[in-house]
Amino acid sequence: MGTFPKTSLATLRARRAALAAAHPPPALVLAGSAPPRNYPANTYPFRAASHFLYLIGQGIEGAALRLAEGRVTLFAHEPDDDDALWHGPRPTLAALARELGADDARPVPELEAAVRDHDPAILWPQDARSRAALLAMRPRGEHADRDAELAEAMIGLRLVDDPDAVLQLAASAERSAEAHRLGMAATAAGLRESAVASAMTAHFFAAGMGLAYGPIVTVHGEVLHSDRHDGLLEPGDLLLCDVGGETPEGWASDITRTWPVSGRFSRTQREIYDVVLASQLAAIDRVRPGTSYREVHETAKRELVRGLVRLGILQGDLDGLLERGAAALFFPHGVGHLLGLDVHDMEDLGDRAGYAPGRSRSARFGDRYLRLDRDLAPGMAVTIEPGFYQVPGILADARLTDPLAGDLRRDVLARYADVRGIRIEDDVLCTDGAPRVLSSGCPKEASEIEALVGSAAR
Ligand code: GLY
Ligand code: MN
Ligand code: MN
């Protein structure tokens, strides 16, 4: 097992106090539960709701935290003999309360009366069973405004990471960077994508980590979030790996690297790779206090299009090309998102977390997938992940290509047929000064990557 920093009880208490100060009425935050696969004790893996993890530091299935009138009350399942026999002993409620710094711990069946008597605002968990149980206690529509106020208070806290959160994110990114290096080393023609995926995920499981999201390990990088791992690695392929673990406390990392199966980028692959890298480096450099994340996105688009003009794939003036949608033809998604306890942090709350008040999603193709438009501030963690993809459906869509008909050199693009998709993604912390790349342990210069690919077999 790896060693990980542990969020101190003082920090957890400070987070609870900050939430109570930002939202004085009673608040209820649920951990959620794991749905059964067939019989009740055979469940899908349990992963507690991130709002709960943020305040408690560990996932306790079925638990809830109430903040009311200056008191912290934990609701949790009482240990019983049957459970101890099959799953091992669990702490008493009193011991849990002591360990977690709660004023009191009550059995879960008392939750219903607590909801009725205190009528708290609720941060709703995602799992259907917990939602149904809560709905039976309090119809959701009844206090939507109050729930929204609690959500806003939580967003205010989780947007800016405290020092313990930064330690978690850094540890998570460091381990994920190691997993990528192992994935590069394990790559060889003739293997399946699943072999590389397992080399990477094994590293997380050995370290006592979980996965922050379903790993993307694919030779079809043009499928942005492909979840298949059955493809065969051919010598001329690029392998796109978007893989990140989460610490035992649940803090995510999200890293993408793209490497040549053979260990050598072809000339055309290398040219596009370096264009994407230049775009990514320029975007990272803009992660500074006061810069809006939309500007970061625009920077990535501009640098990508600049590079494609240099290669002769596009022609014309940069502003005109951008205006006519040239970036989205090859880079149809946003430059990244918030990162925290969730890989797309707080997207359970919709665009309320990602978009500052008064800002909303663009209707334009490409830009409409931008998940974040806030002004950056020290302590905010984001991903920066531009890419280049040849998506057949986009390149065949006249509504997208007609405005660029005279500027897109399909004859030149045809020479780059061995590039289906390249993405380069890092986890970046906004600081008072220069951006801090939490995932800097993961190589991304083409020559560094070439030196690592296939090295396990050498
Ligand atoms: N791994 C999901 C993403 O990059 O957004
Ligand atoms: Mn990402
Ligand atoms: Mn990713």
For residue range 304-349, what is the model confidence (pLDDT) as tens digits?
999 999 999 999 999 999 999 999 999 999 999 999 999 999 999 9
Q: What is the pLDDT of residues 102-161, one digit of tens each?
A: 999 999 999 999 998 888 999 998 998 999 898 888 865 678 899 999 999 999 999 999
Ligand positioned closest to the Cα atom of 339:
2
For residue 254, report the distance from its CA to the centre of ligand 2, in Å: 5
pLDDT, greater one: 6 or 117: 6
**Torsion angles phi and psi, residue 32, rounded to 5:** 85, 180
Q: Closest ligand 1 atom to the C-alpha of 213?
A: 1
CA 440 – CA 42 distance, rounded (Å): 39
At 407-437, the pLDDT tens digits run 999 999 999 999 999 999 999 999 999 999 9
Residue nearest to atom 3 of ligand 1 (CA): 254
Return the pLDDT at 120: 94
Is the pLDDT confidence value at 289 over 90? yes
Task: Quote the Cα angle for 259-265-268, to 5°.
Answer: 120
What sign for the dihedral angle of Cα 196, 198, 199, 205? positive
Q: In testing the pocket of ligand 1, which one of 258, 337, 422 has its CB within 8 Å of the most ligand atoms?
A: 337
Residue pair 121/23 in contact (Cβ under 8 Å)? The answer is yes
What residue ranges line ligand 1, CB within 6 angstroms? Answer: 213, 242, 254, 337, 343, 385, 425
Among protein residues, the one whose CA lies closest to atom 4 of ligand 1: 254
Query: Of ligand 1's atoms, which has the minimum distance to the CA of residue 425?
Result: 4
Buried b (16+ CB within 10 A) or exposed e, 239-272: bbbbbbbbbbbbbbbbbbbbbbbbbebbeebbbb
Among 255, 383, 427, which is best to mutate for testing ligand 1, by the most ligand atoms less than 8 A from CB?
383
Calculate how far, in angstroms, residue 410's C-alpha sits from the geometric centre of ligand 3: 29
- State the distance from the centre of ligand 3 to the C-alpha of 113, rounded, in angstroms: 42
Ligand nearest to the CA of 225: 1
Mutate to test the pocket of ligand 1, among 211, 243, 343, 389 (most ligand atoms within 8 A of CB): 343
Q: Cα(148) to centroid of ligand 3, in Å?
A: 28
Distance from the alpha carbon of residue 151 to the mean position of ligand 1, in angstroms = 23
Supply 185's token pair.
């080393």
Residue 25 scores a pLDDT above 90 = yes
CB 179 within 8 A of CB 243: yes
Atom of ligand 1 nearest to the CA of 254: 1
Give the distance (Å) from ligand 1 centre to CA of residue 337.
8
Two structure tokens written together for 43: 């469940």
Q: Kindly give the number of the ligand 1 atom that is closest to the alpha carbon of 337.
A: 5
Per-chain mean pLDDT for the chain: 96
Residue with tokens 């065949």, as numbered in its chain: 396
pLDDT of 235-256, one tens digit each?
999 999 999 999 999 999 999 9
Six token digits for residue 304? 């990508």
Atom of ligand 1 nearest to the CA of 344: 5
CA of 117: how far to CAs of 57, 59, 106, 114, in Å? Answer: 27, 26, 15, 5
Distance between CA 80 and CA 87 in Å, rounded?
10
Per-residue confidence (pLDDT) for residue 140, from 0 to 100: 59
Q: Which atom of ligand 1 lies nearest, measured to the CA of 216? A: 1
